[in-house]
Structure 1
């Protein structure tokens, strides 16, 4: 049989394994190893190429640190305080709690940089409250899944780090470029949420009280400080993204360790709602003890241990695709579309459909090196295209058949995967609308960048 026949058989085989639920990492690895044998590439070469990904990858060190930050703020109770603040601001609107969960996703994303961590944390905290508040459980779970999409757009973003590493772009510029689009994504989803809740009459209203807003804002001060620390350090150039990640981890550990004894001394009741606490009780979050830190680190390491091999094997997959001529074929197809807008929207379609079947990491590693140079050749700003590319990739988190956030939300809420799909449609419409707007208005990505 010819090489093309063997590669077709291997591709069909891994597609079947994917449909049977085999993890994406193994799918890509099986395909890489099979194609390596067909193309007479040694496994030594495969191993060496995977190792080379991390030899000079200083920027990639930020990835496990931001993952650890997300786990620390969740364990310390900072994430719960941010959620309470969002509800105090939006609870007076129909669907206010659901809209607050989307706002909390944006605030959590501004510290953690992870979509799955955002969905899991906010979903596990607010889904039971939404169900108690009269929301449909399917809609509640879908809201957590949709809110998690901003986890990789609002800085700091793990996937922006990977994109900048691959395309040799300043990661700090990518982070700043994601602020306005990420905010628009949250606002767009909140608008869709408000319309759906108003039609169905979901949610109990609470009065908008300045005292409640101030209390919850004061209670969430550690979260706001962490967000401000990251953005200030990166925007002003005081920290590189990797250094910012290290500083934020150090701050969260310090805040968690100090807050625990402060709460004990004050005798604060952690089960009491924040709006019922005194200002003194709200000074410190629940915190954690020193013996708890290793378990938090291990959990973060487990997630990093999944992502790091996926990055490495996806890079090797990209090289094999290049040998097979796939990159040239895709590049020729996109280039043949014509000018600026044709290339832009063709690239967006490719990213959207790729995101339906692959996680954002392999989509980025495989397609960004193909599409980004073509986009630059027709005059699309590289930073602007990075935002367009990754917003499109983030939408894949709630598009079947893959839809990683849907699986995460299903896992933390107990709502079956297929029962969520109906309620993701309004959020998909909102996100796609924002995506198109960002692609047509470059200033939405570039306005906050210095010297632009």
Structure 2
């Protein structure tokens, strides 16, 4: 039997395994090993590649650290304070709580760098409040899922770290390039919230109170400080993204551990309504005890333990694809499209389709090394293409049949997956508009970069 026939059969077999619920890690691993045997790649090469990913991947150290940062921020209560601030600013508008959920996703993403953590945290906090406020439970859950898409675009972003590592691009440049597109994604989704809420008359309006805004801003100062610390350090070059991740972990532990005894001494009821809390109580957050830190670290390690092996086996898969000539085939297909825009939009279509069936991590690791050089050959700026690529990958989080954020939102809210699709498609449309704008206007990604 010819090699091509064997590879086709192997691909079909692992596709069936994936559809039956086999973890993506095992699907990629099985395909890589079996195809290596078919084409004659020695298995010790697989071991060497897996080792090299971790031996040479200093930049990847930022990934588990930012995951831990998100968990610490959530555990300490800082994420809740950011949500309160967003609601105090937007609650006077129809759909204000839904827009606050999107805004809170943007603020939390600026600390955690994770889409699933953003969806789970904001969804679990605000979904009950939204349903109490008269919002449709499907819309509430879909809002949390859609808001989480900015988790990998607004810096710091775990997937930007992976992309920069793979393509040898400055991670700090990628972080900065994601600021404006991430903000546009938030604004576009807020627009959807407003229009849908006005049409359905959802939400309980609150008066716009400058005092309430100021009070909640004061209460969220630790979150703002963490965001500013990361962006200032990376933008000014004071520390690398990996160092920034370490700094924010230290900050999260110190803020959480110190706040806990202060709250006990002040007898602060963190669950009381904001208007009933004294201003002085807004200077601290819920906090946690020092011996709670290991359990938080353990949870973060579990997530990192899922992502890191996936990166490693995807690099092996990338090598197998290279041996099979996949890059040449896709390259010939793209080049046959013609010039700048046909190639760019064909590449975007490939990313969109891949995002429908795969998580952003394997999509990035497998496709970026193939598509990015071709885009660069027709004049697409590498950093601009990185943003285009990853905005498209983030849209995959709410695109069926995979739609990871839809599964996460369904899990934390109890709303069945397929019931989310009615409203998630509205958010999907707004994000597609932003994606096209980012592709057509390079300055949306490059404007803030120094020396550009």
TM-score of the superposed pair, with normalisation by structure 2:
0.99
| Structure 1 residue 41: Cα displacement | 2.4
| Equivalent residues of 1:216, 1:275 under 8 A apart | no
Superposition map of 1:282-321 within 5 A: 282-321=282-321
| Structure 1 residue 30: Cα displacement | 1.3
Whole-angstrom distance in 2 between the partners of 1:327 and 1:408: 33
Structure 2 match to 1:219: 219
Structure 2 match to 1:274: 274
Structure 2 match to 1:25: 25
The one-character-per-residue Cα deviations of 1:410-439 (angstroms, maximum 9, x if unpaired) are: 111111111111111110010000000111
| Structure 1 residue 126: Cα displacement | 0.5
Whole-angstrom distance in 2 between the partners of 1:130 and 1:266: 31
The one-character-per-residue Cα deviations of 1:78-129 (angstroms, maximum 9, x if unpaired) are: 0000000000000011111000000000000000000000000000000011
Please tell me whether residue 196 in structure 1 is matched to residue 196 in structure 2. Answer: yes
The one-character-per-residue Cα deviations of 1:173-199 (angstroms, maximum 9, x if unpaired) are: 000000000000000000011111111
Structure 2 match to 1:387: 387
The one-character-per-residue Cα deviations of 1:237-287 (angstroms, maximum 9, x if unpaired) are: 001000000011101111111100111111000211223211111110000
SS at match of 1:269: coil
| Structure 1 residue 43: Cα displacement | 2.7
Structure 2 match to 1:246: 246
| Structure 1 residue 323: Cα displacement | 1.0
Structure 2 match to 1:16: 16
The one-character-per-residue Cα deviations of 1:319-372 (angstroms, maximum 9, x if unpaired) are: 111111111100111111111111111111010001001111111111111111
Structure 1 match to 2:400: 400
Please tell me whether residue 182 in structure 1 is matched to residue 211 in structure 2. Answer: no
Whole-angstrom distance in 2 between the partners of 1:244 and 1:348: 31
Whole-angstrom distance in 2 between the partners of 1:298 and 1:230: 24
Structure 2 match to 1:376: 376
Structure 1 match to 2:331: 331
Structure 1 match to 2:141: 141
RMSD (Å), alpha carbons: 0.8
The one-character-per-residue Cα deviations of 1:183-242 (angstroms, maximum 9, x if unpaired) are: 000000000111111111111111111011011000000000000000000000001000
Please tell me whether residue 426 in structure 1 is matched to residue 426 in structure 2. Answer: yes
SS at match of 2:357: coil
Please tell me whether residue 257 in structure 1 is matched to residue 253 in structure 2. Answer: no
SS at match of 1:270: coil
The one-character-per-residue Cα deviations of 1:129-157 (angstroms, maximum 9, x if unpaired) are: 11111011111100000000000000000
Structure 2 match to 1:44: 44
SS at match of 1:41: coil
> Gaps (5+ residues) in structure 1?
none
Whole-angstrom distance in 1 between the partners of 2:325 and 2:170: 29
When structure 1 is superposed on structure 2, of 343-352 and 32-41 the one drifting more is 32-41
Please tell me whether residue 442 in structure 1 is matched to residue 438 in structure 2. Answer: no
Q: How many aligned positions are there?
A: 452
Structure 2 match to 1:4: 4
Whole-angstrom distance in 2 between the partners of 1:131 and 1:31: 44
| Structure 1 residue 294: Cα displacement | 0.3
Whole-angstrom distance in 2 between the partners of 1:33 and 1:158: 27
Structure 1 match to 2:349: 349
Structure 1 match to 2:74: 74
Whole-angstrom distance in 2 between the partners of 1:25 and 1:324: 21
Whole-angstrom distance in 2 between the partners of 1:269 and 1:449: 44
Structure 2 match to 1:236: 236
The one-character-per-residue Cα deviations of 1:263-316 (angstroms, maximum 9, x if unpaired) are: 111100021122321111111000011110000000000000000000000011
> Gaps (5+ residues) in structure 2?
none
| Structure 1 residue 40: Cα displacement | 2.4
